[in-house]
Structure 1
Amino acid sequence: MKTLLKISGYIDALNTLVGRAVTWLVLIVALISAGNAVMRKVFNLSSNAWLELQWYLFGAIFLLAAGYTFLRNEHVRVDVLSQKLSERTQVYIEIFGVIFFLLPAACLVLWLSIPFFWESYLTHELSSNTEGLIRWPAKLLIPAGFALLILAGLSHLLKCIGFLRGQCGNPMRVSSGKSDEEKLVEDILAQQQAGQGTDTVAGR
């Protein structure tokens, strides 16, 4: 089990590296999007190549960061019922979900996407738009993203088993600190309290 958990650590390190690298794509996409808008509005110029590059990078953000998002436990969970159960029961449910839902679906998409990408690569498929880009890099993102997600699922599964055997912590509590939703609620409450304090001072 220790060896398997060590392998899980390597997988997590890979997804963390990819996830942190992908975060920089958000800035790049924002700059490209702003540049496209300025060129179109100010200079009346536009390029399908830059527009498609923007779409490709959006795809890279969502596909390549899927495994990292799963690692950080940031995927949306509908756990109204399971959150009331014990930790061990929640982990058993998690194992069932990974084995019977996540891995089969991700493996199917990976299997179907490889020939989809390979055919595009062999034929040097180009965009149908004027000045468009080659298509295979965008199609490569699909198997690459789902491969990372499968690895993240296997790593999560190993950690769930390790938790049940008492050899590691609960992997469902990987994310440290408060969730974005909790932080948003706190910010709203803080602003309301600040507003009430201002009204009180003004009333005096």
Structure 2
Amino acid sequence: MQALLALSRAIDKLNAFVGKYSIWLIFAATVISAINAIVRKVFNYSSNGFLEVQWYLFAWSFLVAAGYTLLHREHVRIDVLNSRLPKKVQLWIEILGLIFFLTPICILVLWLCIPMLGEKFATGEMSPNPGGLLRWPVWAALPVGFVLLLLQGWSELIKCIAFLRGQGPDPTVKLGEKSAEEELAELLRQQAAAAARNPAPHAH
């Protein structure tokens, strides 16, 4: 189990690194958009390449950050029922979802998109728009993004199993968020500190 937890931590670090720097893709898209607007207004010139590179950058930022989003448990979840269930049941729902939904979907997407990426790279397919760009660079975001998402799914699976075995923290708590036990301990510490500052008067 310790080897698997080490693998999980390595995957978490990888997606944390990717997520941290993927914001620069958004920044680059914003800068290009601004430059495109200025050039169009000042020189009355524009190109579909400017527009497409913005789409490419957005696609890359969206797809490669999917694993980072899962790491921070920020994907849309419908927890109206799930949050009321016992913790053990919640973990088993998470495990089954990761095994039977996330993993097969990621593998299916990779199975479908990798040959298409190879074909577009081999043929040098271009955008049909005048002044458009090569297509394979944006298609490359699909396998990269889904590999990172798949790896993060397996990392979450490892953490769920470790928690059920009593060998790891609660993986259902968002990073930086306190668990119910930690919140209770913090409340008790605050109450104790308040009682120390304002001791009750002795009865006479």
TM over 0.5: yes
Aligned residues: 178
Instruction: State the alpha-carbon separation in 2 of the partners of residues 132 and 121 from structure 1.
Output: 16
Superposition deviation, residue 175 in structure 1: 2.4
Q: What TM-score results when the alignment is normalised by the length of structure 2?
A: 0.84
Q: What amino acid sits opposite 2:119 in the alignment?
A: E
Instruction: Tell me what 1:140 maps to.
Output: 140
Q: Which has the larger radius of gyration?
A: 2
Percent identity for Structure 1 against Structure 2: 53
How far did residue 23 of structure 1 move?
1.2
Deviations 1:103-150 (A, max 9, x none): 111110111000010000111111112221111111111111101100
3-state SS of paired residue (2:145): helix
Residue 8 (structure 2) aligns with: 8
Distance in 2 (alpha carbons) for counterparts of 1:51 and 1:62: 17
Alignment partner, residue 193 of structure 1: none
Match for residue 106 of structure 2? 106
Aligned mates of 1:42, 1:158 — CA distance in 2: 56
| Matched position secondary structure for 2:156 | helix
Instruction: Give the RMSD, CA atoms, in angstroms.
Output: 1.3
After TM superposition, the score normalised by the length of structure 1 is: 0.84
1:74-119 Cα offsets, whole Å, 9 max, x none, are: 1010110010112221111100111111111111011100001000
Instruction: For 1:81 and 1:61, locate their aligned partners in 2 and report how far apart those are by CA, in whole Å.
Output: 32
Give the distance between the partners of 2:161 and 2:21, measured in 1 at CA: 29
Partner of 2:181: none
**Matches of 2:58 and 2:23, distance apart in 1:** 11
Q: Deviations over 1:38-90 (max 9, x none)?
A: 22233321011111110000100110000010011010101100101122211
Once the two structures are superposed, the pairs formed by residues 1-204 of structure 1 within 5 Å of their partners are: 1-177=1-177
**Matches of 1:177 and 1:156, distance apart in 2:** 16
How many Å separate the matches in 1 of 2:173 and 2:43?
A: 51
For the residues of structure 2 that align with 1:110 and 1:172, how far apart are their CA atoms? 27
CA distance in 2, matches of 1:41, 1:80: 50
After superposing on structure 2, the runs of 4+ consecutive aligned residues of structure 1 that deviate more than 4 Å are: none
Distance 1:40 1:79, change over 3 A: same
- Aligned mates of 1:110, 1:86 — CA distance in 2: 35
In structure 2, stretches of 5+ residues that fail to align are 179-204
CA distance in 2, matches of 1:69, 1:115: 27
Q: Note the residue ranges of structure 1 that are not aligned, 5 or more in a row.
A: 179-204
Deviates more, 1:50-59 or 1:84-93: 84-93
Cα distance in 1 for partners of 2:127, 2:96 equals 41
2:171 is aligned with what amino acid?
P
Aligned to 1:202: none
